[in-house]
Amino acid sequence: MTTPSSAVAGRPTRRHDPNYKWIALSNTTLGILMAAIDGSIVIIALPAIFNGIQLNPLEPGSTSYLLWIFMGYLLVTAVLVVAFGWLGDRYGRVRMYNGGFLIFTIGSILLAATPFMGTAGALWIIGMRIVQGIGGAFLFANSAAILTDAFPTNQRGLALGINGVAAIAGQFIGLLAGGFLATIDWRLVFFVSVPIGIVGTVWAYLRLEELSTTTKRKMDWWGNITFGVGLASILVGITYGIQPYGTDPTGWTSPLVLTLIGGGILLLAIFLWIEQRVAEPFFDLSLFRIRAFAAGNVASLLAATGRGGLSFIIVIWLQGIWLPVHGYSYADTPLWAGIYMLPLTVGFLVAGPLSGYLSDRFGARLFATGGMILAAIAFIGLTGLPVQFAYPALAFFLLLAGLGSGLFNSPNSAAIMNSVPANQRGAASGMRAVFANAGFVVSIGLFFSLMIAGLAGSLSSTLYAGLVAHDVPVDVASQISHLPPVSSLFASLLGYNPMASLLPANVLNALPPDQAAILTGKDFFPGLIAGPFHDGLVIVFLVAAGMSIVAAIASALRGGKYVHQDVPASAKDLVTD
């Protein structure tokens, strides 16, 4: 049974108001931009946040806090979007979206007002980031469905393109915003979302209207539980796979990681079994029989994974090696890394809306396939750059990658949303967001692990020889050289001077002043790890290029332009490229 949501609410529909679609686009774009910014804003601000709560993030016991402050938000949004999309189909997409805006704003207020210090402060921030993530999941799950309801089929590509560009560009704007605000006050990193959230929440409640119909389906509790717990288990396992285990540089052999990932896969298999047998499934798996839907989501997962690897590894490349050698202090490298990444964002901003507009006329296949080919070319080009590259070369490949991702994202999102029945747009939007958000989380675990594997082979011996050559005692040099490579990567990512962080203060003070100055200078560590680091870079970018090529193949196989019709289709409803 379906009921018009606006009729139930007793409010007049704005379906025939030509301006309403632009109201929906502007509000949902604001919401998605805010949620995306908060997904990355803490990366560069982490040192200031930990200093603010008086906790050293590089101490062994603090590593988990560091990971969860950043990853907790991403995990929650990835796991909950399908369930919240289903709730949108069941109770009204605008209602769920508005509630998400409110929850997100409350979480931001509580984060900015963090009352605790030390580990209690870290746990409070993790908890409130999860609250933010719940609000963000409501926004991600329902925004695309709201736009699909509001826009006619010949304008959805443009609308979803603008919305999608906000989601991706927000990840990089967050890097800049976090770096800038953290230099003023760490609480501003969280407070910046408060006024935006308040305005967006009030605006959404006053102006957004339900144009969809609600579906009176029973809750599929076992489907919800097996999907949510299974996906969460896999993503948590991937997160802990980054951390060392015993003598291994990563945790992929840890019983905990193996149990989490294996158990998660088993639960997802049970979920598939359940969904094929219940009368009213949590997610209609038959949607994956629609070629445009299935191919678009597979391509989205691969594209998001490759893009996440690009952003994180290049940020580490800039902060750990290139910027210090070019005269920037370690404390300033997080902000400047965000600035030097701007060509990637520019590419998104240029290509996203344009490709969305053109795909409304010509279909998604050409643009999505071509975009992934461009991204693959950019990744392959990056493998040829020396560690001490000329910046115009990096900027060119970043711009190319941004253009490729922008060309892909908007048409792909529109094609996915056009392919599903109107009464399942919320769940479909949630599944689309799962593939994109999960790909981002997977990329962090995958590419961090690949980089660590590349470093582990030769970093230990190189670091030992370099330290001993500058009068560091043999026992201390041996101890530091056997630290997991992730310690060096985290130090670089957080804008710390790696040697000043890894060498004990009493050892540094006992060294001759000239040797201590060399070890903690801007050239020693970057020069030391340049070779091992480049080995890891090549592996990472080749894997990302391979993913982009497979995403291009999936995009090419999606078929012609397809718009699902809930009434008997006419010749104009199914158009072939």
User: pLDDT (tens digit, 9 = 90+) per residue, 219-231?
Assistant: 778 888 898 899 8
Q: pLDDT above 70 covers what percent of the chain?
A: 90
Question: 562: which strand partners?
Answer: 574
Cα 318 from chain centroid (whole Å):
19
Lowest mean per-residue pLDDT among 17-21, 338-342, 398-402: 17-21
* Separation CA 65–CA 43 (nearest Å): 13
Taking only the tens place, the pLDDT of each residue in 349-407 is 888 888 878 888 888 889 999 999 999 999 999 999 998 899 999 999 999 999 998 89
Residue with tokens 């896999």: 234
Lowest mean per-residue pLDDT among 102-111, 290-299, 434-443: 434-443
pLDDT at 91 over 70: yes
pLDDT at 543 over 50: yes
Residue with tokens 């997610």: 283
pLDDT number for residue 217 = 67
- CA proximity to 149, closest of 428, 348, 409, 349: 428
Lowest mean per-residue pLDDT among 155-159, 412-416, 506-510: 155-159
Q: Where are the domains of the chain?
A: 15-217+280-456+533-556, 219-279, 459-532
pLDDT number for residue 309 = 67
pLDDT number for residue 577 = 38
Those residues with Cβ within 8 angstroms of residue 37's Cβ, 6 or more apart along the chain or in another chain: 170, 171, 173, 174, 177, 193
pLDDT at 162 over 70: yes
Contact 171, 33 (CB under 8 A): no
Which CATH architecture describes the domain 15-217+280-456+533-556? Up-down Bundle (1.20)
Average pLDDT of every residue of the chain: 82
* Separation CA 347–CA 455 (nearest Å): 31
* Separation CA 343–CA 310 (nearest Å): 13
Structure tokens at 387: 């560690």
pTM: 0.80
pLDDT number for residue 553 = 94
* Separation CA 363–CA 153 (nearest Å): 11
pLDDT number for residue 570 = 40
